[in-house]
């Protein structure tokens, strides 16, 4: 079954409650993009916004950390209500396995993220330990970018490796430029969690866009 995770980066921050209710009613997860202005050249939002969403959320919070030193902040995001936390392999490197464990010890599902220029093989040693994998289909940092088609083969490669190590049930999340036009292709390749910002919140009918991605 596929899960749809609207990215709140594209929500209307002056009417956030309305968009939170949309996710509660029609989607599966809240995707929360945390950017630090150092790992990525952009700054999004922080704890006050995450905590405000958590108070109204009836679906799990999926926190995507685009920050250096994710290990310093995972505990606070867990306390703020995260059910899923992912961090970038490019930011954590050798420390990735320990950070996955740190997240899991907090009772939170732990995911590793890779940007489009990171060879998928780099994270193969971590696949026995992850709760999910997030494959970026744009370079992390901004909403509203164009989907990179090569991402489909990257999803396929990770799915194949998960099958090979006997972990076919590990979810693969895909993030960046996802919408009704490419949802079927990424699902066919093995993605099971679809992040979508612009294609949901900028749509005339967000509920219909979510339904179309579910298929």
CB within 8 Å of 92: residues ≥ 6 apart: 70, 71, 99
Is position 36 an interface residue for ligand DX5 (rule: CB under 6 A)?
no
- Select 162 or 194, whichever has its Cβ closest to ligand DX5: 194
CB within 8 Å of 119: residues ≥ 6 apart: none
Is position 9 an interface residue for ligand DX5 (rule: CB under 6 A)?
yes
Q: Which of 28, 33, 36, 62 is catalytic?
A: 33
**Shortest CB 44 distance to ligand DX5, Å:** 8
- Residues 81, 143, 190, 206: which binds ligand DX5 (CB under 6 A)? 143
Residue 109 CB-density burial (10 A; 0-12 exposed, 13-18 middle, 19+ buried): middle
Identify whether 33 is a catalytic site residue.
yes
Residue span 171-190 as binding mask against ligand DX5, x where in contact by CB under 6 A, dash where not: ----xxxx------------
Is position 133 an interface residue for ligand DX5 (rule: CB under 6 A)?
no
Q: How many CB atoms lie within 10 A of CB 104?
A: 15
Is position 161 an interface residue for ligand DX5 (rule: CB under 6 A)?
no
Binding region for Zn ion (CB under 5 A) out of 15-23, 78-86, 96-104, 168-176: 168-176
Structure tokens at 140: 């992390």
Is position 88 an interface residue for Zn ion (rule: CB under 5 A)?
no
| Torsion on CA atoms 46, 49, 52, 56, rounded to nearest 10 | -110
Binding region for ligand DX5 (CB under 6 A) out of 17-25, 79-87, 183-191, 196-204: 196-204
**Shortest CB 177 distance to ligand DX5, Å:** 5
**Shortest CB 7 distance to Zn ion, Å:** 6
Identify whether 19 is a catalytic site residue.
no
Binding region for Zn ion (CB under 5 A) out of 10-18, 42-50, 60-68, 164-172: 60-68
Footprint of ligand DX5 on this chain (CB under 6 A)? 7, 9-10, 31, 33, 64, 138, 140-145, 175-178, 195-199
Q: Report the catalytic residues.
A: 33, 175
């Amino acid at each position: 079954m596929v899960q749809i995770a609207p990215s709140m980066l594209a929500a209307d921050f002056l009417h956030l409650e309305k968009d939170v209710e949309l996710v509660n009613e029609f989607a599966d997860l809240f995707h929360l993009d945390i950017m630090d202005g150092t790992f990525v050249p952009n700054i999004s939002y922080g704890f006050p916004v995450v905590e405000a969403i958590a108070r109204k959320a009836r679906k799990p919070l999926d926190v995507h950390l685009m920050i250096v030193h994710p290990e310093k902040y995972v505990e606070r995001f867990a306390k703020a209500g995260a059910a899923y936390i992912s961090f970038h392999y490019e930011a954590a490197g050798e420390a990735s396995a320990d950070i996955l464990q740190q997240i899991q010890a907090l009772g939170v599902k732990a995911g590793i993220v890779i940007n489009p220029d990171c060879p998928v093989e780099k994270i193969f040693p971590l696949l026995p330990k992850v709760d999910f994998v997030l494959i970026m289909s744009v370079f992390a940092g901004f909403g509203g970018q164009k989907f990179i088609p090569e991402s489909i083969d990257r999803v396929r490669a990770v799915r194949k490796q998960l099958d090979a190590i006997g972990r076919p049930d590990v979810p693969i999340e895909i993030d960046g430029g996802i919408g009704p036009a490419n949802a079927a292709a990424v699902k066919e390749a093995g993605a099971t969690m679809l992040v979508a910002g612009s294609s949901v919140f900028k749509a005339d009918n967000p509920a219909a866009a979510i339904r179309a991605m579910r298929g």
